[in-house]
Amino acid sequence: MDKLGLKRDIDLALHLPLRYDDETRITPIAQAREGEPVQVEGVVQEARIELRPRRQLVVRLADASGVLVLRFLNFYPSHQKALAAGARVRVRGEPRGGFFGREMVHPQFKAVDEGTPLATALTPVYPTSAQLPQAYLRKAVASALARAPLQELLPAELLPPGLPPLREALQWLHHPPPDAALPALEDRSHPAWQRLKFEELLAQQLSQLAAQRERARLAAPALQARRGGLHERLLATLPFGLTEAQRRVSEEIAQDLGRTQPMHRLLQGDVGAGKTVVAALAAAVAIDAGWQCALMAPTEILAEQHFAKLVQWLEPLVQQDHGGVAWLTGSRKGRARRQMVERVASGEATLVVGTHAVIEQDVHFAKLGLAIIDEQHRFGVAQRLALLHKLSGQQLEPHLLMMTATPIPRTLAMTYFADLALSTIDQLPPGRTPVLTKVFDDARRPQVIARIADEVAQGRQVYWVCPLIEESEKLDLQNATETHQQLSAALPGVMVGLLHGRMPAAEKSAVMALFKGGEMAVLVATTVIEVGVDVPNASLMVIEHAERFGLSQLHQLRGRVGRGATASVCVLLYAGPLSPTAKDRLRAMADTTDGFEIARRDLEIRGPGEFMGARQSGEALLRFADLAEDAPLLQHARRIAPLLLAQHPGAARAHVARWLDTRADFMKA
Ligand code: ADP
Ligand code: MG
């Protein structure tokens, strides 16, 4: 049960049924209708094993009204024993029309005596795993429900009117009476459901408010650029002028950095909007002020590729009189790593760039003033927390800047990140031509390859992306390798490279260097190039099995082309038949290149839980409530949260503890 996250009694009490079985009544066999699940009771007339069309157990069950055939394609000796002629059984299943009259295939059954009492409430069916049988879980939940401390914590006058007490609501949801309105249960509009959702939303609002107040009490170093310092010199050496949007967000960030309260800001901007230079400017301010800056990216190749530019801009300036750059990534091990770690601890390295390796146990910062996390949604919540915890040893908190190309819709931002400041780059650098997106059946692959030859002949470069999905990693890798061979054969004289996650880091860097340098014209890659790679000369991207990618992933990938002035094309190859959601995704890609519109559609297709990356962290932020549907409850929770904190702080704390337990932390990350 630990695996399902069911540790405390309250967790079990909150483990709600997926659906209910009705064992409160028995339907006469003659009245059981096709396709409607029913429970019938009868006596076995005959049970035999048939061999055709395949081995199966066939049982004829009769009650006073008629006969029903039960068919078991998989069965054990225990089945035969329990279903021997003369046995009285209660059977639940869906009758369907069979060749020899009505039958049930693989019904559930149990032996009963005549007059065995019926259930008095609907039977809950819980989400569970294969190792944990339903019957066991039912017992565990029932006794936990009886034990769990579910006394009312909230003053009745603050609750929305008409909702039952918590214990009553849960009792009802686990064991609804036989006459319960199932539609209200299913669409979660029943007052018992409303009570539960309200509790959850309130806990979330309370913990946000508490985190916000806690953060307001923390002190951070006020960071300011020096006249003639790094920041100024960086601006002067940039090969381009900032866009209006970049200037605005840089100013917002600089304002925050100058305060003695830690910044907690999310910088969002579409792929290619130019977030890196904004990050570099922020880093320059921190270093100027005599503090360290840490930059984290989710993968090694990203850290290397993505920050290469930033380091290229900053390093010459940093090295002059600011100690220099330390790289911390997974592949830097042993002595090299120890040296880096020492330079970070002594404060000699002022710019620290890397992956998760930055937050490992042995890394201590002398004077961290600013932490920047790129593609923050790809870091698990737990990792973001680790970073914050790591820094809590210092006298002063560092400022935190998170960056994402996946914009957060406003409603979500309001609810989850009440105290997160948002900066948005809503403008692309000048001279970009929008990418044209085409969706093709895989059968048109030869045409696509001919197109590649054209592009290469004009001196352009091409990405070919193959999916890499964990469950089938081996197969996918084989697929990428085959595609690589196919393209190499079809494009004689053209250098075609292969890049995948299993390659040693050095080899990856070598391939990327060839591609960046322009010698390699075509790069076949698994999703490792998803974010951050910058090769302006690449004008064509082919995504194989596009139907297997998520929408925001596709958008991120597509952002790798269209970075130069030439018109670029993105070809989405799919292998049919397409599921409706896959169809929606591909259509959205063809319809728009606007990251905000894509995010909106993504939310529509997937729902907010997944959107927030909750899946990766294994913790859905909201289990019961739905932001869109439960807006009135959310409003109420927002209104009473400050009242509750002010007037009933004890109840507020107890409520958050009951609901969030360890998850209270997650709200702060
Ligand atoms: P992202 O927001 O996706 O991280 P990058 O920071 O990688 O985008 O920027 C994409 C490309 O645009 C890079 O090649 C970068 O050097 C370039 N760039 C950024 N800002 C400007 C600008 N103001 N004018 C011209 N090019 C820019
Ligand atoms: Mg980027």
3-state secondary structure of 618: coil
263-275: average pLDDT = 87
Among candidate residues 362, 358, 416, 366, the one with its CA nearest the CA of residue 387: 358
CA torsion, ordered 380, 385, 387, 391, to nearest 10 deg: 180
478 CA → ligand 1 middle, Å: 34
422 versus 440: which is more confidently predicted? 440
622 versus 121: which is more confidently predicted? 121
Residue 408: per-residue pLDDT? 66
Nearest CA to ligand 1 atom 24: 429
Predicted confidence band at 54 (pLDDT cuts at 50, 70, 90)? confident
466 CA → ligand 2 middle, Å: 21
Which residue among 249, 250, 267, 277 is best mutated to probe the pocket of ligand 1, counting the most ligand atoms within 8 A of its Cβ?
277
Say how many C-beta atoms besides its own lie within 10 A of residue 610's C-beta. 15
Q: Is 310 close to ligand 1, i.e. is its CB under 6 Å away?
A: no
CA 275 to each of CA 7, 247, 569: distance values in angstroms, whole numbers, following the listed order: 42, 11, 23
208 CA → ligand 1 middle, Å: 34
For residue 100, pLDDT over 80 is answered with no
277 CA → ligand 1 middle, Å: 7
Question: For the chain, what percent of residues have pLDDT higher than 70?
Answer: 86
Predicted confidence band at 610 (pLDDT cuts at 50, 70, 90)? very low
532 CA → ligand 2 middle, Å: 5
126 CA → ligand 2 middle, Å: 42
If DSSP states are collapsed to H, E and C, what string results for 509-569?
HHHHHHHHHCCCCEEEECHHHCCCCCCCCEEEEEECCHHHCCHHHHHHHHCCCCCCCCCCE
Q: Is 39 close to ligand 1, i.e. is its CB under 6 Å away?
A: no
29-41: average pLDDT = 89
Q: Is 274 close to ligand 1, i.e. is its CB under 6 Å away?
A: yes
3-state secondary structure of 369: strand
C-beta of residue 440 within 8 angstroms of C-beta of residue 573 = yes
For residue 586, pLDDT over 90 is answered with yes
Q: Is 242 close to ligand 1, i.e. is its CB under 6 Å away?
A: yes
C-beta of residue 364 within 8 angstroms of C-beta of residue 186 = no
Query: For 313-345, how does the pLDDT look when each residue is reduced to its tens digit (9 = 90+)?
Result: 887 776 655 668 888 877 777 888 888 889 888
Query: For 181-194, how does the pLDDT look when each residue is reduced to its tens digit (9 = 90+)?
Result: 777 777 888 999 99
For residue 425, pLDDT over 60 is answered with yes
Residue 354: per-residue pLDDT? 86
Strands 19-21 and 123-125: antiparallel
> Could you tell me the two tokens for 259?
């305060």
Residue 386: per-residue pLDDT? 59
Atom of ligand 1 nearest to the CA of 536: 14
313 CA → ligand 1 middle, Å: 13
517 CA → ligand 1 middle, Å: 18
Q: Is 467 close to ligand 1, i.e. is its CB under 6 Å away?
A: no
- What does 8-75 look like in DSSP terms, one character per residue? SHHHHHT---SEEE--S----GGGPPTTS-EEEEEEEEEEEEE-SSS-EEEEEEE-SS-EEEEEESS-
327 versus 165: which is more confidently predicted? 165
Q: Is 277 close to ligand 1, i.e. is its CB under 6 Å away?
A: yes
Nearest CA to ligand 1 atom 10: 272
Nearest CA to ligand 1 atom 14: 534
For residue 530, pLDDT over 70 is answered with no
Residue 619: per-residue pLDDT? 37
433 versus 74: which is more confidently predicted? 74
**Shortest-distance ligand to the CA of residue 407:** 1
Say how many C-beta atoms besides its own lie within 10 A of residue 81's C-beta. 11
Residue 611: per-residue pLDDT? 45
**Shortest-distance ligand to the CA of residue 272:** 1
Q: Rounded to the nearest 5°, which phi and psi values hold at 76?
A: -120, 165
Atom of ligand 1 nearest to the CA of 246: 23
Q: Which stretch of 261-275, 353-367, 386-400, 548-562 has the lowest confidence by average pLDDT? A: 386-400
Q: Which stretch of 204-218, 290-304, 374-388, 622-636 has the lowest confidence by average pLDDT? A: 374-388
Q: From CA 271, how far away is CA 560, in angstroms rounded?
A: 8
The residue to which tokens 């960071």 are assigned:
223
312 CA → ligand 1 middle, Å: 14
111 versus 564: which is more confidently predicted? 111
- What does 426-460 look like in DSSP terms, one character per residue? -SPPTT--PPEEEEEEGGGHHHHHHHHHHHHHTT-
CA 419 to each of CA 209, 415, 614: distance values in angstroms, whole numbers, following the listed order: 8, 10, 19
Q: Which stretch of 201-210, 412-421, 640-649 has the lowest confidence by average pLDDT? A: 412-421
Most confident of 206-220, 273-287, 399-413: 273-287
611 CA → ligand 1 middle, Å: 25
Question: For the chain, what percent of residues have pLDDT higher than 90?
Answer: 39
355 CA → ligand 1 middle, Å: 21
Q: Is 280 close to ligand 1, i.e. is its CB under 6 Å away?
A: no
Query: For the stretch 286-305, what's the b/e string if a residue is b when 16 or more beta carbons lie within 10 angstroms of its beta carbon?
Result: bbbbebbbbbbbbbbbbbbb
Q: Is 124 close to ligand 1, i.e. is its CB under 6 Å away?
A: no
114-128: average pLDDT = 88
For residue 651, pLDDT over 50 is answered with yes
> Could you tell me the two tokens for 473?
């990693």
Residue 576: per-residue pLDDT? 82
Strand order in the sheet with 96-98: 96-98, 101-105, 67-72, 56-62, 38-50, 88-93, 108-111
79 CA → ligand 1 middle, Å: 67
Please provide the distance, in angstroms rounded to a whole number, between the alpha carbons at the two ends of the chain: 27
Tell me the whole-structure pTM to 2 decimals: 0.65
3-state secondary structure of 356: helix
428 CA → ligand 1 middle, Å: 8
* Mean of the per-residue pLDDT values of the chain: 84
Residue 387: per-residue pLDDT? 61
Say how many C-beta atoms besides its own lie within 10 A of residue 553's C-beta. 20
Atom of ligand 1 nearest to the CA of 277: 6
For residue 390, pLDDT over 70 is answered with no
3-state secondary structure of 241: coil
Q: Is 426 close to ligand 1, i.e. is its CB under 6 Å away?
A: no
Q: Is 249 close to ligand 1, i.e. is its CB under 6 Å away?
A: no
304-320: average pLDDT = 73
SS3 content of the chain, % helix, strand, coil (to 5): 45, 15, 40
For residue 413, pLDDT over 70 is answered with no
Say how many C-beta atoms besides its own lie within 10 A of residue 211's C-beta. 18
Among candidate residues 627, 549, 539, the one with its CA nearest the CA of residue 588: 549
Q: Rounded to the nearest 5°, which phi and psi values hold at 605?
A: -75, -35
533-561: average pLDDT = 87
Q: Strand ranges (DSSP E) for 214-367?
A: 264-269, 292-296, 325-328, 351-354
Among candidate residues 244, 200, 31, 22, the one with its CA nearest the CA of residue 122: 22
Q: Is 372 close to ligand 1, i.e. is its CB under 6 Å away?
A: no
Q: Is 243 close to ligand 1, i.e. is its CB under 6 Å away?
A: yes
For residue 133, pLDDT over 90 is answered with no
**Shortest-distance ligand to the CA of residue 375:** 2
Q: Is 405 close to ligand 1, i.e. is its CB under 6 Å away?
A: yes
Q: Is 269 close to ligand 1, i.e. is its CB under 6 Å away?
A: yes
Residue 531: per-residue pLDDT? 45
- Displacement of CA 655 from its chain's centroid (Å): 27
Q: Is 278 close to ligand 1, i.e. is its CB under 6 Å away?
A: no
Q: Is 276 close to ligand 1, i.e. is its CB under 6 Å away?
A: yes
Predicted confidence band at 258 (pLDDT cuts at 50, 70, 90)? very high
